[in-house]
Amino acid sequence: MRDERSNSARPARTHKHCPACGQSRSLCDFYTAVEGSPSGYCKDCQRALSRLTSRRRQAAMRLLIAAHPEEWAGLLGQPRRGGGWPGWLSGPLAGH
């Protein structure tokens, strides 16, 4: 039996629900952000998500380069100003 009385005033938060895998996991399974709060997804899901997005980004980039070879060559030839992308590049990706 657990001693509920000593914890009732301020329950120790040892677990967190991960919306990606739907499991309640120990806080050790979560990355900690700079502010000290645990990340939204558990480490496993965070890794899987970042792998997925980088792979999807690479695939999207290949498609875009194939579809816009001349504009892409022009982009590579000049420095990026302010980190912004031209409309044709941000458009198809924004829907995802």
Q: Please choose, from the candidates 47, 34, 36, 46, the residue with its C-alpha nearest in 3D space to the C-alpha of residue 13.
A: 36
49 binds Zn ion (CB under 5 A): no
Of 21 and 59, nearer to Zn ion (C-beta) is 21
Site string for Zn ion, 10-39 (x = CB under 5 A): --------x-xx------------------
Q: Could you tell me the smallest distance in angstroms from the CB atom of residue 47 to Zn ion?
A: 10
φ/ψ of residue 85, rounded to 5: -105, 150
Scan for tokens 């000049």, then name that residue: 78
Strand ranges (DSSP E) for the chain? 15-17, 24-26, 30-32, 38-42
Contact 31, 39 (CB under 8 A): yes
Number of residues that bind Zn ion (CB under 5 A): 5
**49 vs 93 by CB, closer to Zn ion:** 49
- Residues at the interface with Zn ion (CB under 5 A): 18, 20-21, 42, 45
